[in-house]
Amino acid sequence: MIGWLNVGSLVLGLIAWILPIVNLKSFTKHFHNNWVALSMMSMSACAISLFFQILNSYNRVKMEDFSALMDIMGVRVFVVAILLIGTIILNVMTLIVYRNRVV
């Protein structure tokens, strides 16, 4: 189960970054109705990805695998910070681009 949490977290993290990029790419087209929904889905995917990482840590604590926790926690915190900051920056860029295009 721990492996699937990591895979799910990675997939949802990629989705959290891909959705705002799709929003920014479709800015030149005339179809702007769904940019808010895509931004919300991006933030939700990021939140679920972070939850999977917390659940993964909880499972390791429950199994009393403290050596694995000590080995991976530094990298995990770094990657989670990159995911969160990247998602926020991409969604803020989308908000700035679309702020005058609200129907």
* Burial letters 12-30, b for 16+ CB under 10 A, else e: bbebbbebbeebeeeeeee
For residue 96, the Cα-to-chain-centroid distance in whole angstroms is 19
Q: Where are the domains of the chain?
A: 2-23+33-80
User: pLDDT tens, 76-102?
Assistant: 999 999 999 999 999 999 999 888 766
Q: What confidence tier does 35 reach under pLDDT thresholds 50, 70, 90?
A: confident
CA pair distance 25, 21, nearest whole angstrom: 6
DSSP state of 81: H
For residue 100, the Cα-to-chain-centroid distance in whole angstroms is 26
Looking at every residue in the chain, the average pLDDT score rounds to 90
Given a cut of 80, whether residue 29 has pLDDT beyond it is no
**72 touches 1 (CB < 8 A):** no
Q: Which of 23, 24, 22, 4 lies closest to 12 in space, CA to CA?
A: 4
Given a cut of 80, whether residue 31 has pLDDT beyond it is no
Given a cut of 60, whether residue 103 has pLDDT beyond it is no
Amino acid at 4: W
Alpha-helical regions (H) of 26-103: 35-62, 66-98
